[in-house]
């Protein structure tokens, strides 16, 4: 019965006189005009879907994306070629399942190393299209980053090429198409963002049955057919000159290897469970402070050495905060060691919940602690220390106020772990001499 209903629905749409689909001509390589004909990635997918869904579509050209959204909202057209799903659009449209997914990537000059994380773009100038989806993502998740908005991706890439911006960010095919078309020979794809762009058809609200037909057709598109479209339109050069085909082959091999590995791990899981649990316990004992649950001194030292090397290699700032609980011996003598332990645990939890996820926090020994802040200037680290000082002094650990003294410093030229710690320790003791419950930095 289910399949009869689907076939009947397809029959009705096949008989329908006109199903209108709309597009602009200015979003290459997804759709653009060539020899007075609309072509592109989305057009090629559309042809497959027409064939697999047994439907015929009539195209209307609009001047802008806003005109298309207004036509969809007014139900003047049935379908638009492609966009990403957003809550705003869902108020007046419905979406098919994705027919293609592309990474949102980063373009830079050829002499820039591989960008493994968005953290490397901090304090760099980023060029993006005005009102693009990415502008909203960056402002939401990286509000402190320096962003230049321009009219289109070509302009963004031109700024990078002329050293007026460090990077341009957009959907991978759009960046690649513009780099190739406008011959930005000094640019490349240097990395990708955490986000993906899922291409979907959008339909006016009265087209739920047509959505089902399109979803059925999308599901029939093979990976081989998708790859043929990608190879036709996307000619990509990555960090070391891999073609898209090579990237896809490597990715397929990697995924196959990963699946085999997961199956093997699953089969061994029961046999290794007891051993794994023991290893976890031993690892935790060797790296985690048993009282506070944060890194112990050994793990903190290892991490600090790694962060110093990383900061020097990538020429980014590294700051540390060294702090100590004021009059801790008096707390132990007055309230007992169990209460002192609870104060150590309480301060550890308070700090852990008020620093960034990638900051490193460890117990140096006794009542001394250290926070390692990668990609953080001295002024920023000072502000973090002041915030934490205020949180501690206002938190009711006991019936008396508990405070801490803070020393803050930044990694300098020719510093090593010993000189860096020694300087932070010196500032901390200076804070104690000057009356405690304060931050000294340099």
* pLDDT (0 to 100) of residue 330: 94
pLDDT above 50 (res 131):
yes
Angle between helices 244-287 and 223-233 (to 10 degrees): 110
Question: In whole angstroms, what is the distance from residue 387 CA to residue 353 CA?
Answer: 12
* pLDDT (0 to 100) of residue 1: 44
pLDDT band at 250 (very low <50, low <70, confident <90, very high): low
167 touches 121 (CB < 8 A): yes
CATH class of domain segment(s) 297-441: alpha beta
Q: What share of the chain in percent tops pLDDT 90? A: 45
Q: What is the pLDDT of residues 372-405, one digit of tens each?
A: 999 999 999 999 999 999 999 999 888 889 999 9
49 touches 56 (CB < 8 A): no
* pLDDT (0 to 100) of residue 270: 66
Q: Average of pLDDT values for 324-329?
A: 95
pLDDT above 60 (res 236):
no
CATH topology of domain 2-93+201-233: D-Maltodextrin-Binding Protein; domain 2 (3.40.190)
Q: What is the pLDDT of residues 350-368, one digit of tens each?
A: 999 999 999 999 999 999 9
Lowest mean pLDDT among 155-159, 267-271, 419-423: 267-271
**In three state form, how does the secondary structure of 161-212 look?**
HCCCCCEEEEEHHHHHHHHHHCCCCCEEEEEEEEEEEEEEEEEECCCHHHHH
Q: How distant, in Å, are the alpha carbons of 73, 90, 322 from that of 202?
A: 11, 9, 55
CATH code of the region 101-198+236-246: 3.40.190.10
Top pLDDT among 334 and 8 is at 334
Phi, psi of 212 (to 5 degrees): -60, -40
Question: In whole angstroms, what is the distance from residue 411 CA to residue 320 CA?
Answer: 8
What are the contacts of 30-37 at 24+ separation with CB within 8 A?
Answer: 30/81, 30/82, 30/173, 30/174, 30/199, 31/81, 31/82
Phi, psi of 206 (to 5 degrees): -90, 15
Q: What is the pLDDT of residues 257-268, one digit of tens each?
A: 777 777 777 777
pLDDT above 50 (res 16):
no
Q: What is the pLDDT of residues 68-125, one digit of tens each?
A: 888 888 888 888 877 777 777 788 889 999 998 889 999 999 999 888 889 999 999 9
**Average confidence score pLDDT of the chain:** 85
Q: How distant, in Å, are the alpha carbons of 25, 278, 392, 403 from that of 31?
A: 6, 57, 57, 63
């Amino acid at each position: 019965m289910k399949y009869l209903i689907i076939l009947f629905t397809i029959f009705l749409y096949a008989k329908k006189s006109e199903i209108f689909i709309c597009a602009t001509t200015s979003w290459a390589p997804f759709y653009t005009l060539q020899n007075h004909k609309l072509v592109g990635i989305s057009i090629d997918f559309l042809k497959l879907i027409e064939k697999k869904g047994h439907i015929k579509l009539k195209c209307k050209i609009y001047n802008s994306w806003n005109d298309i959204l207004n036509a969809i909202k007014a139900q003047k057209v049935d379908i638009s070629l492609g966009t990403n799903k957003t809550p705003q659009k869902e108020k007046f449209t419905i979406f098919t399942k994705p027919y293609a997914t592309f990474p949102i990537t980063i373009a830079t000059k050829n002499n820039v190393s591989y960008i493994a994380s968005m953290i490397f773009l901090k304090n760099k100038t980023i060029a993006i299209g005005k009102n693009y989806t990415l502008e909203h993502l960056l402002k939401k998740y990286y509000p402190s980053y320096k962003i230049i908005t321009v009219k289109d991706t070509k302009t963004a890439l031109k700024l990078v090429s002329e050293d007026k911006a460090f990077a341009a960010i957009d959907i991978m095919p759009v960046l690649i198409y513009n780099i190739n078309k406008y011959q930005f020979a000094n640019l490349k794809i240097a990395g990708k963002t955490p986000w993906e762009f899922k291409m979907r058809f959008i339909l006016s609200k009265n087209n739920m049955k047509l959505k089902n037909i399109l979803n059925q057709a999308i599901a029939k598109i093979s990976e081989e057919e998708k790859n043929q479209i990608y190879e036709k339109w996307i000619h990509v050069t990555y960090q070391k000159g891999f073609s898209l085909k090579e990237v896809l082959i490597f990715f397929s091999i990697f995924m196959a290897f990963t699946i085999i590995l997961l199956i093997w791990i699953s089969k061994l899981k029961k046999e290794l469970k007891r051993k794994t649990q023991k290893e976890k316990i031993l690892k935790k004992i060797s790296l985690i402070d048993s009282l506070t649950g944060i890194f112990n001194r050994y793990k903190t030292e290892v991490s600090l050495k790694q962060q110093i090397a990383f900061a020097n290699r990538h020429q980014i700032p590294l700051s540390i905060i060294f702090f100590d609980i004021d009059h801790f011996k008096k707390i132990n003598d007055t309230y007992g060691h169990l209460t002192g332990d609870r104060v150590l645990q309480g301060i550890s939890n308070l700090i852990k919940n008020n620093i960034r996820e990638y900051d490193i926090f460890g117990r140096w020994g006794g009542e001394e602690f250290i926070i390692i802040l990668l990609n953080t200037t001295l002024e920023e680290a000072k502000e973090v220390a002041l915030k934490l000082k205020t949180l501690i002094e206002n938190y009711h650990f006991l019936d008396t106020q508990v405070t801490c003294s803070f020393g803050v410093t930044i990694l300098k030229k020719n510093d090593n772990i010993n000189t860096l710690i020694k300087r932070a320790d010196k500032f901390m003791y200076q804070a104690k001499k000057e009356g405690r419950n304060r931050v000294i930095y340099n």
